[in-house]
Chains A and B, each alone.
Chain A
Amino acid sequence: MISVSLNSYIALSVILFALGFLGVLIRRNTIVIFMCLELMLIASTIALVAFSRYNGTLDGNVFVFFILTVAAAEVAVGLAIIVALFRRRQTIQVDALNSLKD
C-alpha cells in the first residue's frame, strides 16, 4: 500500500470542513444547512481517525464512535424541529424565519 502522509489527511479534513462552513454561511435552505453541518462533523472524524492511525492508538477511533452517535441524535432532533417549523410557518428558508429579529 502506498503510504500517504498524515498532512494529506489533515489537509483534506480542513478542506472538507471549510466547504461545510461555506455551505452553512451561504445557503438559505435549512435542510441544506443541516447537510453542511454533517459535512463539518465528518471532516472532524477524518482528522481523528488519521491521527489515531498514525499514532498507533485506538482512542481517536472510539471517539469517532461517539461523534457518530451524537450526529445521528442531532439529525433526528434537527429534522423534527424543521418539520415542526414547516408545520407552523409553511417555509424553511432562513430568510423568512426572522420573527426574533423584528
Chain B
Amino acid sequence: MFNLFALLVVFGAIGVVVSKNVVHGAMSLLVSLLGVTGLFVLLDAYLLAFVLLLVYAGAVVALFLFIVMLLDTHGDQRPGVKHLPLIASVITGALVVVGAASFIMHARLPEPILANVPVVGDSLKHYAYQLFTTYLLPVQVIGFLLLIAMIGVIVLSRKHEEAAS
C-alpha cells in the first residue's frame, strides 16, 4: 500500500512540474494530495487525512482552478525554459536529494518497530486535549493569523479607484 500511495504522490508531483496546462497541473496536485492522504491513513493519522482532504482538495485546489478560470491566461504562453537555468535547477534539486539522503544514511536514529509503538493519534480527544492545553497560545496566534489574512485578502482584492485617480 505504501508503494502505491508513494507512486501516486511522486507522479502527481511530476505532473505538476511538467504539465503545460495549468488545469492539468491542478489535477495532478489533486492526485498527489490523494496519495498523501493515503499515507496519513497508513500512519494512523485519520483526522489529519480527513482535514487534508477537506482543506486542500476541497478548498485550495478549487481556489487554484477558480483563479485559473478567472484570469484566462491562455494567450500568455511564453517559449519554454532556457537550457542553463534548467540544468542549474536540476543540479540544485539533485543536491537537495543527495544531502538529505546522506542525512538519512548516516543518522543514528533508533529504529522502532511500528507495531510496538502505541497509537496515540487515533482519537479526537487526544487532539483536543493537546490543542487546548499545550498548544493553547499557538491556536490563538493562528486565529489572529487567519483574521489578518482575511483582512489582507479583502484589502488586496479591492479595486483601487481612488489610487488611480
Q: Please list the residues of chain A having a beta carbon within 8 angstroms of any beta carbon in chain B.
A: 1-12, 14-23, 25-29, 31-32, 34-36, 38-39, 42, 45-46, 49-50, 52-59, 61-62, 64-66, 68-77, 79-84, 86-87, 91-93, 95
Q: Apart from A21-B92, A35-B29, what 16 extra A-B contacts exist at CB < 8 Å?
A: A7-B104, A11-B104, A21-B96, A27-B17, A29-B22, A38-B29, A49-B40, A56-B117, A58-B126, A61-B48, A69-B142, A71-B55, A73-B145, A75-B63, A80-B153, A95-B78
Tally of contact residues, B, Cβ under 8 A: 80
Closest B residue to A42 by CB, please name it.
Answer: B36
- How far is the CB of B68 from the nearest CB of chain A, in Å? 6
A11 to B101, CA, bound (A): 7
Residues of chain B having any CB pair with chain A under 8 Å: 1-2, 6, 9-10, 13-14, 16-17, 22, 25-26, 29, 32-33, 36, 39-40, 42-45, 47-48, 51-52, 55-56, 59-60, 63-64, 67-68, 70-71, 73, 76, 78, 81, 85-86, 88-90, 92-94, 96-97, 100-101, 104, 109, 111-115, 117-118, 120-121, 126-127, 130-131, 134-135, 138, 142, 145-146, 149-150, 152-153, 156-157, 159
Most buried by A among B10, B13, B97, B152: B13
Which of B44, B59, B96, B134 makes the CB contact (< 8 A) with A72? B59
Is there an interface contact between A56 and B67, defined as CB atoms closer than 8 Å? no
Could you tell me the distance between the alpha carbons of A29 and B81 in the complex, rounded to whole angstroms?
11
Dominant secondary structure at the B interface:
helix
